[in-house]
Structures are given as C-alpha cells and as structure tokens.
C-alpha cells in the first residue's frame, strides 16, 4: 500500500472571523417591536436599542449612552428621541443628541452610532458595514410579491438562538443536497446552484420519503412533490419560494424566509417564517391555520439542522465527493461579505453554475426507503 493511501486527512479549522458580514440583516417582524418602548437586540458583538418615534419611524442605535454609559434599552421614548435612564440625555434616530434638560447647550460632538434601517414586507432590517459605507443599490432586498395581498396569509414566524457555532454552518446548506434526504426526509431529484454578484441560489425539485412524516394539505392529504427556488440576497437573508403538490392533486404555494443575524463570532439568532397562498376553498382563519401547520413542519426541519450544528465541528477543508456540491465555491462567494469592498475579487462575484447528477444518490436512497418500509411492515406483523 502506498504512503499516499495511508495518509490521514486532518480537519483544519481557523477561528471564526470577529468581523461581521457586510449587508442587510433582518432583526425580525415589525410587529415584534411595538411603539412606545425601547427594545434590546444583541447583534454584531454589541447591544443595540430599537425604538419607534411618534412619526412611526423605527430607529436602531448603539445600546449605551455616550455620556456615562447608561443602558438606553432601559430608557424612555420622549417625543422623537430615546432618553437615557441615567441622566436623561436624549438621542434622536440619526444618532445626534437632541437635548440635555439640565444643560445650557448640547456638546457639538454628542453623537452615537446609528444603524440604517429598512422596513419592508413586515420585517425590520439593519445595514451593517464595518467600513461605514451606505448600502449600494445592488444590495437591495427584493419585495415579497404576496405580502399584504389578501390572497395570502400573514407571516407565521419563529426565532431561536444558536450558541457555540458560527453562522457559516447555516450558509453551507444551500449547496448540501445529500442532507435533504438524511436530515429532512426527501429525495432531491433535481439540484442546481447559481452564484452571481451578491446572490447565491439553489433550485431543487423533490419527492417526499414514504418512510417519514410529510406536510399535509388542508384535507390531510400528504405532499408527494415540491419545487423550491431559494436565494440568499447578501450574507444573511434568504427568500425561498416553495410549491407543494399533494396526493389529492391540490397545490399550495408558499414563501419561506430563512434569515439570521450574528450575536457574536460563535452565536447567532436564526429566524424563519412562512406565508401561504390561500386555497379558494378555505376561509381566512382556515388558511392561516393551514399556514401554521405548514410552519410547524418547517420548524421541525430547522430544529433538525440545529441539532446537527450544535454537535458538529467547524471544518475549513471538508473532504468531498462529486455529489456534495460546490462547497468551496459557495464559501468563496460568501467571503466577499467579510472583506473590504476594495478587496472583493472577481472570482467571488462572477457567475458560477453547478448542477448535481442525482441519479446515483436516488437509486441508493430508494433502496434504503424500501428496506425501511419492509422492516417496518415486518415489525408490525410480529406485534400483531
């Protein structure tokens, strides 16, 4: 046996970057930040305060007062400013001090960090850029066509905190075809990735496994097929359009949001939400209940991923086979958000396409499902 064949592959893993990705990050639904009170968000390695002013505008500032370090998340909304609970210094949404009740004048340099915000489709976004540049037009988040449309349900939304791991683990999923069978219980029969500019996309057609639970329609028919088109717009916000075809020939179109923001280098907040196009035969309440049922199924899938992330190790040099997809190319695309704009290279943003041949995987997986069904039938027969 040659020395080369005896060589043991070692796992390489650098410390996760302390720098946070440049881009729009969704902090959650606007409805979760009610007016009249400050809200605390831990993101980008610091504490932020979110508050709405009398004109309905939502603002995000650094969470600590620049006077003597008071906690603005414990402060009070006064007019169009947030007042520090320590000495009542007032801070406007643009970061400028708007007043000090006991002082003759406001120091001209009295300013704190303000974060550019975007309210769109019921969600609150903040722009993060370590260089302090405003968002370019090409980084815009697309509008959700079905949002605020009476033919679609409202958001069903979930939030969970992931500790002890970096958010790159979540990004890797966009190229990971095989885990959809082993973790999420479906056959990916078509799988393709396209990366270009700040967008990374995944196109997939799938069939549900007969040996695991699957989402159901309003009349309880199991889904048999689905088509999915998912795109990350920047480093942390994915829009996923999914159409389910059920065994009774009914269809349901959904939009799934998959987004996150970093707390620090080794933890992040994962958020995901779903809305569905209302079937004609359902009233509004029934349609929202259907969306909730489908959301709970999606939630199971995300929880399966979370269990994997919490126990796996970080690996910068994964050992891959042909069917594993373009992991290294995806990470090269992702790197553009962690370097200065001047250091973004052409290979990070140039168009890249890769389609996986799913023939061999599906042959193996169908045999596995048949074996599982046979074993299950035998065990049921013995119990009878």
213 compared with 222, residue with greater pLDDT: 213
pLDDT digits (tens, 9 = 90+) for 314-349: 999 999 999 999 999 999 999 999 999 999 999 999
Q: Is the pLDDT reported for residue 87 higher than 90? A: yes
CA dihedral angle for residue 79, residue 85, residue 89, residue 92, rounded to 10 degrees: -40
How sure is the predictor about 238, in pLDDT bands with cuts at 50, 70 and 90?
A: very high
Alpha-carbon distances, residue 52 vs 41, 55, 292 (angstroms): 14, 8, 29
Structure-derived torsion over alpha carbons of residues 84, 90, 95, 98, reported in degrees to the nearest 10? -170
The two structure tokens encoding residue 365: 């997986």
Task: Tell me the percentage of the chain whose pLDDT exceeds 90.
Answer: 82
Three-state SS string over 41-66 comes to EEECCEEEEEEECCCCCEEEEECECC
pLDDT digits (tens, 9 = 90+) for 217-227: 665 566 678 99
172: left (phi over 0), alpha (psi -120 to 50) or beta: alpha
pLDDT digits (tens, 9 = 90+) for 126-175: 999 999 999 999 999 999 989 999 999 999 999 999 999 999 999 999 99
Residue 210: per-residue pLDDT? 86
Give the model confidence (pLDDT) of 94-113 as tens digits.
999 999 999 999 999 999 99
In which element (H, E) is residue 331 found? helix 327-335
Instruction: Give residue 178's pLDDT band: very low, low, confident or very high (50, 70, 90).
Output: very high
SS3 label, residue 200: strand
Reply yes or no on whether the pLDDT at 381 is more than 70.
no
Q: Domains in the chain, please, with CATH?
A: 23-139 (2.102.10.10), 156-368 (3.90.380.10)
């Amino acid at each position: 046996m040659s020395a080369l064949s005896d060589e043991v592959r070692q796992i390489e893993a650098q410390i996760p970057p302390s720098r946070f990705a440049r881009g729009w990050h969704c902090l959650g639904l606007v409805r979760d930040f009610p007016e009249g009170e400050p809200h605390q968000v831990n993101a980008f390695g610091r504490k932020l305060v979110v508050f709405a002013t009398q004109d309905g505008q939502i603002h995000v500032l650094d969470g600590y007062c620049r006077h003597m370090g008071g906690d603005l998340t414990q402060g009070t909304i006064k007019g169009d400013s947030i007042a520090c609970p320590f000495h009542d210094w007032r801070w406007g949404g643009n970061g400028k001090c708007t007043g000090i009740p006991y002082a003759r004048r406001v120091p001209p340099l009295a300013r704190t960090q303000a974060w550019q915000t975007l309210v769109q489709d019921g969600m609150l976004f903040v722009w993060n850029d370590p260089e302090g540049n405003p968002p370019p037009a090409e980084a815009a988040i697309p509008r959700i066509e079905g949002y605020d449309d009476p033919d679609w349900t409202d958001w069903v939304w979930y939030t969970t905190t992931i500790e002890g791991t970096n958010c790159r683990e979540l990004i890797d999923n966009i190229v990971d075809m095989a885990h959809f069978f082993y973790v999420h219980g479906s056959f990916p029969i078509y799988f393709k990735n396209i990366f270009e500019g700040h967008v990374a996309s995944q196109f997939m057609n799938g069939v549900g496994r007969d040996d695991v639970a699957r989402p159901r329609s309003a009349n309880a028919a199991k889904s048999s097929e689905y088509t999915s088109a998912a795109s990350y717009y920047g480093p942390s916000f994915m829009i996923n359009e999914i159409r389910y075809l059920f065994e009774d020939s009914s269809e349901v179109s959904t939009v799934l949001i998959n987004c996150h923001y970093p707390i620090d280098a080794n933890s992040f907040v994962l958020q995901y939400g779903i809305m569905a196009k209302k079937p004609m035969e359902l009233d509004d309440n029934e349609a929202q209940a259907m969306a909730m049922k489908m959301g709970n199924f999606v939630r199971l899938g995300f929880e399966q991923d979370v269990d994997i992330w919490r126990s796996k190790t970080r690996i910068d040099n994964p050992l891959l086979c042909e069917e594993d997809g373009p992991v290294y190319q995806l990470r090269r695309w992702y790197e553009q958000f962690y370097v200065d704009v001047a250091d973004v290279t052409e290979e990070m943003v140039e168009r890249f396409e890769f389609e996986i041949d799913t023939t061999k995987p599906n042959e193996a997986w169908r045999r596995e499902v048949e074996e599982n069904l046979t074993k299950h039938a035998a065990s049921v027969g013995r119990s009878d």
